[in-house]
Structure 1
Amino acid sequence: MLDPSEIYDVDPQVAEQVAQATADGSGPVLVHAVRGFVDAGQAGAAVAEHLLEQLPSRRLATFDADQLLDYRSRRPTMTFDSTTWSSYDEPELVVDLLEDGAGVPFLLLHGIEPDVQWERYVAAVRQLVERFDVPLTVGVHGIPMGIPHTRPLSVTAHATRPELVADHPSWFGAVTVPASASALLELRLGQSGHDAMGFAVHVPHYLAQSPYPQASLAAIERVQRATGLDLQASALVPAAEETRAEIERQVRDSAEIAAVVRALEDQYDAFARSIGRPGLLAPTGEQPVDLPTADELGAEFERFLAEQSDGSPDA
């Protein structure tokens, strides 16, 4: 492996601020929400955006994105204005130093997921974890799930030690899924003796392609409970309520969508009543509900939204 320290730069002044703020021996928590993997409802991306909007921040570390991205597979955007190229949406992968609502410092790793050199990138993040005595690393993102928006959101919690997620139910057995840089980071941190955990918020799959503030709110609340940080979760409530009202309006206007939601409610309620269930979609002792597939649900909801001509925002 090439030297991990050569793919990022640390601002020495901000590093000194971290050292001063954590002089009592308690290092800052690291929250990460890197874009590029599955993020239904933009749950993780909106968490990062929320934290940067609500809390003071300073740039601590900057990764060399030029070494980590495949531009031909994931092209950045540029703006052409009349006769000239006026701007470039430069990809970034960074670590910021933030302060929560009580002035407690923590770190936020955000930006675009590396396309290449995952092990080197993970080793680099581990160097930062060890340099700044990070006691806990926490990741967040959203995953599509066959649940209705009318029921409480559930969350899959995972960690490097079972004690870290003892208060969270396990929705799945052993499954094989595509890897992500964030999942690899958690795995490698655990193998090297560092505590790490993550929250995957279950987003109704008919809403997975649209911003879903309820998912971000659920993620923020879990991170707050796990870390003790004050992340100003209440600032997300108005957007969540507005989105909920818009979804309800669109459901009322479509008999097909309303039927889908009722079917999902029946399945969810059957699951909630079940005992000894092996997974979210397989309630024990109940007859399975004949539901449309995720693709069918998504296609129907997208068709409905496409037919709207009143200029109202998507759900």
Structure 2
Amino acid sequence: MAERERLVHIVDDVPELEGTSTLTMVLALDGFLDAGNAAERAVQHLVDMSEGPVVATFDVDQLHDYRARRPPMSFVRDHYEAYDAPRLVVRLLRDAGGTPYLLLHGPEPDNRWEAFCRAVREVVERLGVTRVVGIGSVPMAVPHTRPIALTPHANDPSLLTAESPWRGELRIPSSVQALLEIRLGEWGHAAMGFVAHVPHYLAQLDYPLASAALLEQVEIAGRLTIDLSGLHAEAADKEAEIAAYLEANQEVAEVVAALERQYDAFERAEESGTSLLAADQPLPTGEEIGAQFEQFLAGLDGPDGLEGRDGPDDADDAAGQERD
């Protein structure tokens, strides 16, 4: 492949994959579909569970807009050092039962999307990938006190593991993960994925419950076994922190209660086959929700806010990623 310079470099000899009849590649690109840092935390969990070699490396210099997303570096007294260069790689990992699988992760390409898709196709065909499973998350007007909802999607209906909650057509901003699913289908390769619905008032915080929900679906779709006990423990701690905050902030708790009523009304309507909208359970206006949760997020930076945040810049960084 001679597009400018070679876009992906693949390891020629991967003995761990010899004789493998099925091979899943998990896909998670940060910068867009990652409310609550759900996909990023899921990726970190997979890497922590099984450190493995890099078997393919993409030339990020051809894909990354450095001025839009400037990589961090350190300035130490009188000199620069420790430049954290962005990396877009495919790792070979093993699940809890020793089954090998691949993980493609790193920053979503800012440009050359079609060329990137062709490069991923080369990885899929050279390494013998039989199924690609993407993960992501979006902010939604849902309460954190109800089960995490997910939107499944696939380029072949037979791959779907659950029914989509959506009806009809939605026009949405595109992502390279979505484009890749389309292109892989055109090239005869199976690709699917899951998008977790994260409460919008928690979208700027780490939300490990959504990470665990995504990896549970990866287990099913990829026929893998993943130890999620650590993520579930993190999620329990976070839920306790949120509950304590809401107990001390009644106005915010009332907005969450309104979201609960709306959620339950939708559920009842779906079960009965009637309208999805319940006239007696109005959703709070955007202005009401925004005003209450501006106070909510502001409170997290204070001494009485939620624990577990590294600092006030985290929310700004996450917001920047959402905008990207």
- Per the normalisation by structure 2, the TM-score is 0.88
What is the aligned length? 308
* 2:265–2:278 contact (8 Å) kept in structure 1: no
Post-superposition shift, 1:133? 2.0
For 1:167, give the aligned amino acid. A
Post-superposition shift, 1:86? 2.1
1:271 to 266, 287, 302: 266
* 1:41–1:142 contact (8 Å) kept in structure 2: yes
For 2:125, give the aligned amino acid. E
Post-superposition shift, 1:146? 0.8
Confirm whether residue 197 of structure 1 aligns to residue 192 of structure 2.
yes
Distance 1:277 1:85, change over 3 A: farther
Q: Which residue of 2 aligns with 1:283?
A: 276
For 2:9, give the aligned amino acid. D
2 CA distance for matches of 1:72 and 1:2? 26
Confirm whether residue 111 of structure 1 aligns to residue 110 of structure 2.
no
2 CA distance for matches of 1:49 and 1:192? 30
1:67 to 62, 73, 92: 62
Q: Which residue of 2 aligns with 1:255?
A: 250
Gaps of 5+ in 1: none
Q: Which residue of 1 aligns with 2:312?
A: none
For 1:89, give the aligned amino acid. D
Post-superposition shift, 1:283? 1.6
Post-superposition shift, 1:235? 2.3
Q: Which residue of 2 aligns with 1:238?
A: 233
* 1:98–1:105 contact (8 Å) kept in structure 2: yes
1:142 to 133, 137, 143: 137
Post-superposition shift, 1:167? 2.5
RMSD: 2.3
* 2:161–2:221 contact (8 Å) kept in structure 1: no
Post-superposition shift, 1:311? 7.7
For 2:236, give the aligned amino acid. E
Distance 1:256 1:102, change over 3 A: same
For 1:67, give the aligned amino acid. Q
Confirm whether residue 226 of structure 1 aligns to residue 226 of structure 2.
no
* 2:7–2:119 contact (8 Å) kept in structure 1: yes
2 CA distance for matches of 1:209 and 1:277? 35
Distance 1:124 1:5, change over 3 A: farther
* 2:26–2:104 contact (8 Å) kept in structure 1: yes
Q: Which residue of 2 aligns with 1:184?
A: 179
Per-residue CA deviation, residues 186-214 of structure 1 (Å, 9 max, x unaligned), is 11111111111110000000000110000
Q: Which residue of 2 aligns with 1:6?
A: 6
Post-superposition shift, 1:287? 3.9
Q: Secondary structure at the match of 1:12?
A: coil
Q: Secondary structure at the match of 1:275?
A: helix
Per-residue CA deviation, residues 69-103 of structure 1 (Å, 9 max, x unaligned), is 11111111110111111210110100000011111
Query: How do residues 29-178 of structure 1 correspond to structure 2 at under 5 angstroms?
Result: 29-165=24-160, 167-178=162-173
Q: Which residue of 1 aligns with 2:285?
A: 292
- Range that drifts further, 1-10 or 69-78: 1-10
2 CA distance for matches of 1:120 and 1:278? 45
2 CA distance for matches of 1:311 and 1:289? 29
Q: Which residue of 2 aligns with 1:313?
A: 308
Gaps of 5+ in 2: 310-314, 316-324
Q: Secondary structure at the match of 1:240?
A: helix
**Percent identity between the two aligned chains:** 41
1 CA distance for matches of 2:213 and 2:157? 21
Per-residue CA deviation, residues 124-161 of structure 1 (Å, 9 max, x unaligned), is 00111112221110010111111111111100011111
1 CA distance for matches of 2:292 and 2:306? 23
For 1:152, give the aligned amino acid. P
1:207 to 197, 202, 206: 202
* 2:242–2:306 contact (8 Å) kept in structure 1: no
* 1:276–1:284 contact (8 Å) kept in structure 2: no
* 1:31–1:107 contact (8 Å) kept in structure 2: yes
Distance 1:164 1:6, change over 3 A: same
Post-superposition shift, 1:164? 1.5
* 2:35–2:137 contact (8 Å) kept in structure 1: yes
Query: How do residues 13-32 of structure 1 correspond to structure 2 at under 5 angstroms?
Result: 13=13, 15-18=14-17, 20=18, 23-24=19-20, 26-32=21-27
2 CA distance for matches of 1:313 and 1:235? 15
Per-residue CA deviation, residues 214-265 of structure 1 (Å, 9 max, x unaligned), is 0000000011111210121222111011101001011111011110110011
1 CA distance for matches of 2:217 and 2:199? 18
